[in-house]
A and B are shown apart, each in its own frame.
Chain A
Amino acid sequence: MTGQVYFDDVAAGQEIPPLYKQVTTVNIMMYLATVWLLDRIHFDYPFATQRRGLPHVVAPGNMAIDYYAQLLTDWAGNEGRLVKLATQYRNFMLPENTLECGGKIQKKYQEAGKGLVELELWIKNEEGVMCVPGKAVVELPVRGN
C-alpha cells in the first residue's frame, strides 16, 4: 500500500490502481465452507455442467462484493471509507479466471464537509468479458480538515 490518497488530489476521469484476483476451486471451497453456502453449482462439477449447462462450477456472485471492497478499501486507505457499493451479476466468474477489478472516477463532491467520490467499476476476465459491472461511493479525507 502507498500513502493516503486525499479527496483534493483525485479528479473525474482518473482510474484507480487495478486489483487482479484469481478464483480457484480452493478459494470457492473455502468460501462455501465458511458461510455454509451449499448450492451445488458452486462445487459439484457434474451437476453444474450436465444438469445446469454451465461451463464449470461457478464462483458465488457475492465474491465480487469482496473483490470490490478490497479494491476500494485498499485505495481509500486508513482514513477513507467505503460508503456504497452496487453490483450487477452479468457473467459468471469461473475457476482459473484471472479477473481484473478496476474503477474509474465519475465525479467528486463535498457533502457536510465529507469528500465523496463516485466510481464506475468493472470485473472482467482475461478475455475482456465483463462479469460484474459495479458502482461505488467512497469517502476520502479532505486536506486541512
Chain B
Amino acid sequence: MEDSLLEKIGWKKYIGMVSGVKTGEPVLARDIRRYALAIDDPNPIYYDEEAAQKGRYGKLVAPPGYICWAIHDPKLEKRVEELGEDGLANFLGIPEFPDAWSLGWVRGGEEYEFFKPVFAGDRISVQVKFLDVFEKQGKSGTLVFTNSEATYTNQNGELLAKQRITMIATPRKEN
C-alpha cells in the first residue's frame, strides 16, 4: 500500500477556505466576438450591437461559458520562461495552494447555475470556496479529487453565476 498522497500534501486543512475576491478588467466586445467565433456560435447577440438591441437583453452579451474567462489575474500572465512545462500558469478550478503544481491536473466536471448574463463593458468578480478534497485509487495510481465553488458577480454586486468545479490531480510523471 503506497502512502496516502492526500496526507502527504495535507490539503484537508484547506476545506472551507474562501479565496479573496478577484475582479477582472472590463469585458471587451472584441473578446466576446472572438469567443463566439471560436465556439462557432452564429447567434447575432454576440456580434452585432444592433441585433443585440432587438434581442432579449437589449445589448451585447457574452455566451454563458465565457464567464469563467472574464477575470484574468495579471499576476498569472507570465513570460514563456516562467510558465510551467505544460504551458500553464494557472486557471480557475486549480486550488492556489503552494504545492498545487507538484501535481498534474485534469478537469473532471463542472456544474453551473446561471442567474444573469455577462455584458460587454462589465467588470466581473469571482470568489472561490474550497469545498472538499478526497482521494481514490484509479487504474494508474492514486487520484486526488478537489471540489470548489466559484461565485461570479458584476460591478453592481449582482449575482451572475455559481460554478462547482471538480478537478482531478495525479502525481506528475513523464511518458
List residues of A (81-105) whose CB comes within 8 Å of B's CBs. 81-89
How far is B105's CA from A52's CA once the two chains are assembled, in angstroms?
Answer: 12
Please determine whether B56 and A79 come into contact, CB atoms closer than 8 angstroms: yes
How far is B47's CA from A36's CA once the two chains are assembled, in angstroms?
Answer: 20
Please determine whether A35 and B35 come into contact, CB atoms closer than 8 angstroms: yes
List residues of B (26-74) whose CB comes within 8 Å of A's CBs. 31, 34-35, 37-41, 43, 55-56, 63-65, 68-69, 72
How far is B87's CA from A40's CA once the two chains are assembled, in angstroms?
Answer: 5
> How many chain A residues touch B (Cβ–Cβ < 8 Å)?
42
Query: Across the two chains, which residue of chain A brings its CB closest to B55?
Result: A78
Query: Across the two chains, which residue of chain B brings its CB closest to A62?
Result: B65
Please determine whether A30 and B88 come into contact, CB atoms closer than 8 angstroms: no
Please determine whether B64 and A69 come into contact, CB atoms closer than 8 angstroms: yes
Query: Across the two chains, which residue of chain B brings its CB closest to A137?
Result: B113
Please determine whether B37 and A69 come into contact, CB atoms closer than 8 angstroms: no
A91 nearest CB across to chain B (Å)? 12
Any A CB within 8 A of the CB of B143: no
Known: A53-B175, A78-B55. A65 touches B110 (CB 8 A): yes
Any B CB within 8 A of the CB of A2: no
How far is B72's CA from A73's CA once the two chains are assembled, in angstroms?
Answer: 26
B149 nearest CB across to chain A (Å)? 13
B84 nearest CB across to chain A (Å)? 9
List residues of B (2-42) whose CB comes within 8 Å of A's CBs. 31, 34-35, 37-41
How far is B113's CA from A8's CA once the two chains are assembled, in angstroms?
Answer: 24
Any A CB within 8 A of the CB of B91: yes
Residues of B within 8 A of A52 (CB): 175
Any A CB within 8 A of the CB of B89: yes
B61 nearest CB across to chain A (Å)? 10
B164 nearest CB across to chain A (Å)? 8
Our pick among B39, B91, B111 for the contact of A37 (Cβ within 8 Å) is B91
Residues of B within 8 A of A38 (CB): 83, 87-89
Residues of A within 8 A of B68 (CB): 62
Any B CB within 8 A of the CB of A127: no
How far is B66's CA from A62's CA once the two chains are assembled, in angstroms?
Answer: 9
Residues of B within 8 A of A34 (CB): 31, 34-35, 38, 69
Please determine whether A30 and B112 come into contact, CB atoms closer than 8 angstroms: no
User: Can you list 28 residue pairs at the A/B interface with Cβ under 8 Å?
Assistant: A28-B38, A31-B35, A31-B38, A31-B39, A34-B31, A34-B38, A35-B69, A36-B77, A37-B69, A38-B83, A38-B89, A39-B86, A39-B87, A39-B91, A44-B87, A63-B65, A66-B65, A69-B41, A78-B55, A83-B114, A84-B111, A84-B112, A84-B114, A85-B111, A86-B109, A86-B110, A89-B107, A89-B108
A65-B110, A82-B114, A85-B112 known; 6 new pairs, CB 8 Å cut-off, are A31-B39, A34-B38, A36-B72, A44-B87, A62-B107, A85-B111
The 6 closest A-B pairs by CB, nearest first: A30-B38, A31-B38, A65-B65, A40-B87, A66-B39, A86-B111
